[in-house]
Amino acid sequence: MPKKLSFNFYFPDNLIRILFWICAGVSSASWILGVWTAALYYGKPDLLILHQTIYFGIDLVGPWYRALFLPLLGTIFLYVNFAVARYIWKKDAMLSHLMCYSTIFIEVLIVFAVFGILILNI
């Protein structure tokens, strides 16, 4: 009988698989928030507030599609970091797990940043 193909061949151990799916869920939350923000200003000539500081106020504005830059950057970071973590796993499993945990931390920071952009523009 032929061997069944599964998605588990990519992940070297269960912890990396669990961390990947947690990161994928957090990344999808950033996409939902980013699309929601972009949908508020889609087709309008108004600009989105993309950054604000307490010292200088609003210092970065842009069109609606710039709200999707952070979720895209987070998704690229997620896949590249997990690909490198899988490659490193054979040599050093602890470093691979550390990379996966850092990916969760960075994805959560991206969700907070996209949520901040949404709050600034409501």
Q: What is the full per-residue pLDDT of the chain (122 aa) written as tens digits?
A: 555 555 555 677 888 889 999 999 999 999 999 999 888 888 778 888 888 889 999 999 988 888 899 999 999 999 999 889 888 988 988 999 999 999 999 999 999 999 999 998 88
Taking the model in full, what pTM does it have? 0.85
Q: Are 110 and 81 in contact (CB under 8 A)?
A: no
Q: What is the pLDDT of residue 14?
A: 85
β-sheet bridge partners, residue 61: 49
Q: Are 110 and 25 in contact (CB under 8 A)?
A: no
Return the domain boundaries, the chain: 22-120
Amino acid present at 101: Y
Question: Can you point out the beta strands (E) in 15-107?
Answer: 48-53, 57-62
Which of 21, 24, 14 has the alpha carbon at shortest distance from 93? 14
